[in-house]
Amino acid sequence: MTTQQNRPATGQPDAFDKYPCYYGSDLELAYTPQRSVFTLWAPAADKVRLNLYASGADGEPEERLEMQSSDDGTWRVAAERDLKGTFYTFQIEKEGKWLDETPGIWAKAVGVNGDRAAVIDLRETDPEGWEADRAPELKMYSDIILYELHHRDFSVAPDSGIENKGKFLALTETGTKTPQGEASGLDHLKELGVTHIHILPSFDYATVDEARLNDKTYNWGYDPKNYNVPEGSYSTDPADPAARIREFKQMVQSLHRNGMRIVLDVVYNHTASVEHSNFNLTVPGYFYRHNADGSYSDASGCGNETASERAMVRHYIVESVKFWAKEYHIDGFRFDLMGIHDIETMNRIREELSKIDPTIFIYGEGWLAADSPLPPEKRAVRDHVGQMEGIAVFCDDFRDAVRGSTFEEHACGYASGNIGGHYEPVKFGIVGATQHPQVDYNGLLYSSVPYAAAPSQAVNFAASHDGYTVIDKLRLSVTGDRAEEELLPIDKLIHTILLTAQGVPFIRAGEEMMQDKQGEPNSFRSPDAVNQIDWALKAEHRGLFDYVRQLIALRKAHPAFRIPTAEGLRQWLRFLDTGDSGVIAYTLGEHANGDAWKEILVAYNGNRHPADQVIPQKDPRGNTLYWIGPPGDKRDAGPGTDFAAVDEGYVSVTPLHVDLTAHQAHEVVTDWLERVGVDRQW
């Protein structure tokens, strides 16, 4: 029996450090057809019992088995028969009181709503060809282009053309079309050309009732319940423990076959509840940080925060991530509020994942939502990323510089004409948050140091699931008589900067076709009408989609935009002196990073002013044509612009979309050529 001394005294959470640790690989179920051994780490328990059920949701236990105290704070019991298809829970007694039942913290299969764990043979969940499944080749982290999506948002719209709406299987369907004939779903992603699909939390979370999916309850999934099991609402049958696992693997397999890797958004920093969490029902208090008065600390803003620095918490997080990488072939992990975790834990994760596959990409939010008892010097925050080799953070300086402040909704950014104060933060994103002699780090928005040791440690983004979409932000901040017509060119400029900057670019699903969320900045519980991708927008904004697609193709074709080292950036990237023109310009020279082009000039003009005049004319049929007249202010031809580049002997590639082809005349001309016997070529 575990003795009283292994439990902390009330109000003394430091006593948790005295708990014995268990690092065996058999937590919490070791299954064979002949025998199932259950092992629970519960060092604070006085008694532990195992409850066996025929159903994943209803009914009384068919059997209760008393577990026996074992080594290093564990409790064990064995069933000498085949339990496949059985459901189970653990229950601990502490200080004379039986706590609520829990599936444990290591459950790998669960019934509906994740209240009971399930005994299954994981190998029976592997789709055909799973053993041969391999991710597409990735040579360098700097080659990554991230695309963030939510399963339900991406496919649930009536016009998506996708059969398995809101499900893992949506990303296995090919040939899907919008009513306008545009590719949707998986084919849309292939057409766009992104390399990594970042899926919002897809482990079993708490707030969606899997037994009442017709209620259309919505959540992003940042309320964890069972960390090692896929979410049931994204499967075709939440009551079948194997279905969600098999279908998740089918999704991964499909993405790999279609040239894309997959990133799992993980939320180890907090749980959906505290007192009734699986953590607290197994080892009360241990997995959480506490304030000096014994209350739960709350750096997550969700009521609690986990204690990653504690031995068995660290072990749990590391082993959980490894499980997803091995069992589900996950290619990357995005850590929610990574700053709540300690540096040592994150480095341990990197070390262990590199043993599995060194190309697995790790990145996260390099901040906290509130203060934490974890000492500041130990936090895995943005400014400490130099101590975490092979781990990246989101560059919020870049986001707020290009599009405007997240905290001031009406504030413009560089791309929307607010030039002052945004030069250096934009340049900071361009060099991937690394040290560069031409960046003034005193002029940044949130950072004060070049925290990245390599540009791939900076994830540049303009929008993500939380906060305003790009177009919603622009509609709030861009004002004036010409505001509406300016939105598209500003949007294009934002994506131009994003996809030509160094570091790793990140695109929120729908940004490539001007998807909005009706002005809602925090839509985690908003209905489908707010969150779903409106696939009709692809045809409506095909010009923007093609523009982003072409930028991605340009980035892939030219390694100069994907320099992997800070030393390479300092060697090849030179900012030009453009004075106060509003232009940011730089060159990538000397066949940068092995590029076929000897020198590339990149220039961004954040100024917003029209041409001097528009000239109306009539064509021979009497239709009015409008010709853009001469440029307005001479600043348009200043240093770093395309005009100046040409004057200096460069070739300037300017992001314009002009198609003068008379497509409607093709049939007429073809008929003429055939009648006169001329072979036609287009």
CA atoms of 533 and 153, how far apart (whole Å): 6
Tokens 């348009």 found at: 636
Of 302, 303, 310, 301, the residue nearest 283 (C-alpha): 310
**Contact partners, residue 212, CB within 8 Å, separation at least 6:** none
Using CA atoms in the order 56, 270, 150, 517, what is the torsion angle rounded to 10 degrees? 130
What whole-number distance in Å separates Cα of residue 169 and Cα of residue 163? 9
Question: Are 537 and 513 in contact, with CB atoms under 8 Å apart?
Answer: yes
Q: Are 434 and 566 in contact (CB under 8 A)?
A: yes
Positive or negative, the Cα torsion across 429, 430, 434, 435?
Answer: negative
Question: Would you name the residues annotated as active-site residues?
Answer: 336, 365
Instruction: Kindly give the pairing relationship between strand 261-266 and strand 332-335.
Output: parallel
Q: Output the CA–CA distances (angstroms, integers) from residue 341 to 156, 374, 382, in the order listed.
A: 34, 9, 12
Sign of CA dihedral 302, 308, 312, 315: positive
Q: CB atoms < 10 A from the CB of 25, how many?
A: 7
Give the separation between CA 44 and CA 4, rounded to whole angstroms: 8
Give the alpha-carbon dihedral of 419, 420, 426, 428, to 10 degrees. 160
Tokens of 89: 């829970």
b/e burial code for range 267-281 (CB count within 10 A of at least 16 → b) = bbbbbbbbeebbbbb
* Cα distances (Å, whole numbers) of residue 121 to 33, 127, 280, 467: 9, 13, 28, 41
Residue ranges with strand state E in 629-682: none
CA quadruple 139, 143, 148, 154: dihedral positive or negative? Answer: negative
Residues in the chain: 682
Q: Dihedrals φ, ψ of 600, to 5°?
A: -120, 130
640 close to 585: Cβ distance less than 8 angstroms? yes
Terminal-to-terminal C-alpha distance of the chain: 84
Half-sphere exposure of 387 (CA within 13 A, CB side): 15
Torsion sign over Cα 231, 233, 239, 242: negative
Give SS3 for 581.
Answer: coil
Query: 512 and 544 in contact (C-beta within 8 Å)?
Result: yes
